[in-house]
């Protein structure tokens, strides 16, 4: 009678979710590295006031555009400010910007996509065309327009970036919802007495969310760059506040005098974007039960 039990099931001891989590961390070096990097970044952001060797806004006109020295590890910028200190003070601004934009995109986009996909019919037609219309705008132009309407500043700039990202997520979630909605297990759940809200929340959302996780990590990286672009256009972080995008934009002006100025903010953005992406891939693998036992 227990033919299945003997043949199909490898014997397993106490395998709780926590154990699975740590096993995943140990087996996935990429995840550990990216998580470690992001933790260090968050630590630096929180304790920026303590770690930074100089003030990020104090100018020193006697030391302009210096090469790295022992007193200024990453050199100084065009106003004589310490680049390392600005990089450290830029971390919280850049992280805040990226997370704010993506949070807004998730809060707006995911429920909208679920609703559109689940309800379908004329609502789907209407909303999908609306989303198409939004996506036909160049994203930065749309973000600039929304920022203009909301008012200039980092928070408003990133709210508008989130608003621009939201239709992208909504479209992905809608497509996934359409697939998952017709799955037999959704019918089965209904057949066992589950209500509509329960079905959307417990069965459709978890099955539709995987591509969103990857997209979100990509968006974190794009949001970093969007912050840079908007700060470059002086719609984002207002001088003399530091942000990586703003530093990059500023260094760009002096690319012929001091090309090394680009490296610090550039690598910070690159590494952070890379870490977000790597983490997203690892989460995807960890969340997918069919990929777990490799």
Partner 1 sequence: MSDAVAMAVERAGVAPPGKALLSIRDLCVSFRDDSGWTQVLNNVSLAVNPGETVGIVGESGCGKSLTALSILGLLQKRDVLRTGEINFEGRDLAKLSEAEMRRVRGRHIGMIFQEPMSALDPVFTVGDQITETVRTHFNVSRREANERAVAALAAVRIASPQNVVSMYPMSLSGGMRQRVMIAMALVCEPRLLIADEPTTALDVTIQAQIMDLLLDLGQRTGTAILFITHNLGLVAESCTRMLTMYAGQVVEDGPVDKILMQPKHPYTAGLLGSVPQPRQRKSLLPSIPGRVPSPHEMPSGCRFAPRCTYVQPPCLAPQALLSADAERQVRCRRYDELTLPGAIS
Can you give the binding site for partner 1, defined by CB under 8 A?
A: 1-9, 11-12, 15-16, 121, 183-185, 187-195, 198, 202-203, 206-207, 287, 289-290, 292-293
Q: Which of 221, 200, 128, 141 is nearest to 168 (CA)?
A: 128
Half-sphere exposure for 292 (CA within 13 Å, toward CB): 11
Q: Which of 143, 292, 165, 167 is nearest to 228 (CA)?
A: 143
CA 81-86-90 angle, to 5 degrees, is 155
| Shortest Cβ 132–partner 1 spacing (Å) | 24
| Shortest Cβ 214–partner 1 spacing (Å) | 16
The Cα–Cα gap between 77 and 236 comes to 20
| Shortest Cβ 24–partner 1 spacing (Å) | 15
> Among residues 40 and 291, whose Cβ is nearest to partner 1?
291
> Among residues 118 and 165, whose Cβ is nearest to partner 1?
118
Helices 210-232 & 139-150, crossing angle to 10 degrees?
70
The Cα–Cα gap between 205 and 112 comes to 12
| Shortest Cβ 231–partner 1 spacing (Å) | 39
Q: Residue 292's CB: how many other CB atoms inside 10 A?
A: 12
| Shortest Cβ 9–partner 1 spacing (Å) | 7
> Among residues 138 and 197, whose Cβ is nearest to partner 1?
197
Torsion angles phi and psi, residue 14, rounded to 5 = -65, 95
| Shortest Cβ 219–partner 1 spacing (Å) | 22
Contacts 24+ apart (CB under 8 A), 186-190: none
| Shortest Cβ 290–partner 1 spacing (Å) | 5
> Among residues 26 and 202, whose Cβ is nearest to partner 1?
202
User: What CA dihedral angle connects 239, 245, 251 and 256, to 10 degrees?
Assistant: -150
- In angstroms, the Cα distances linking 180 to 37, 108, 141, 253 are 35, 20, 34, 50
| Shortest Cβ 122–partner 1 spacing (Å) | 11
Q: Residue 271's CB: how many other CB atoms inside 10 A?
A: 14
> Among residues 138 and 193, whose Cβ is nearest to partner 1?
193
Largest CA distance in the chain: 87
Q: What share of the chain is helix, strand, coil (3-state, %, to 5)?
A: 75, 0, 25
> Among residues 22 and 70, whose Cβ is nearest to partner 1?
22
């Amino acid at each position: 009678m227990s033919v299945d039990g003997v043949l199909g099931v490898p014997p397993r001891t106490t395998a709780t979710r926590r154990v699975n989590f740590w096993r995943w961390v140990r087996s996935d070096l990429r995840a550990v590295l990216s998580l470690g990097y992001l933790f260090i970044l968050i630590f630096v952001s929180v304790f920026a006031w303590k770690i930074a060797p100089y003030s990020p806004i104090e100018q020193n006109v006697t030391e302009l555009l210096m090469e790295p020295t022992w007193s200024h590890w990453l050199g100084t910028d065009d106003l004589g400010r310490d680049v390392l200190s600005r990089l450290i003070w830029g971390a919280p601004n850049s992280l805040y910007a990226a997370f704010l934009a993506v949070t807004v995109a998730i809060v707006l986009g995911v429920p909208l996509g679920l609703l559109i996909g689940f309800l379908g019919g004329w609502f789907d037609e209407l909303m999908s065309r609306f989303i198409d219309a939004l996506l036909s705008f160049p994203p930065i132009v749309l973000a600039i327009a929304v920022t203009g309407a909301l008012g200039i500043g980092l928070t408003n700039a990133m709210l508008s970036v989130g608003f621009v990202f939201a239709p992208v997520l909504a479209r992905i979630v809608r497509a996934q919802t359409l697939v998952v909605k017709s799955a037999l297990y959704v019918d089965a759940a209904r057949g066992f007495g589950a209500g509509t809200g329960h079905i959307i929340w417990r069965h459709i959302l978890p099955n539709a969310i995987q591509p969103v996780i990857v997209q979100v990590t990509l968006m974190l990286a794009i949001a970093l760059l969007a912050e840079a672009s908007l700060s470059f256009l002086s719609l984002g972080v207002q001088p003399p506040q530091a942000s990586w995008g703003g530093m990059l934009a500023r260094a760009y002006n002096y690319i012929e005098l001091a090309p090394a100025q680009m490296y610090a903010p550039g690598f910070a953005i690159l590494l952070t974007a890379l870490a977000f992406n790597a983490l997203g891939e690892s989460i995807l693998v960890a969340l997918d039960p069919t990929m777990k036992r490799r």
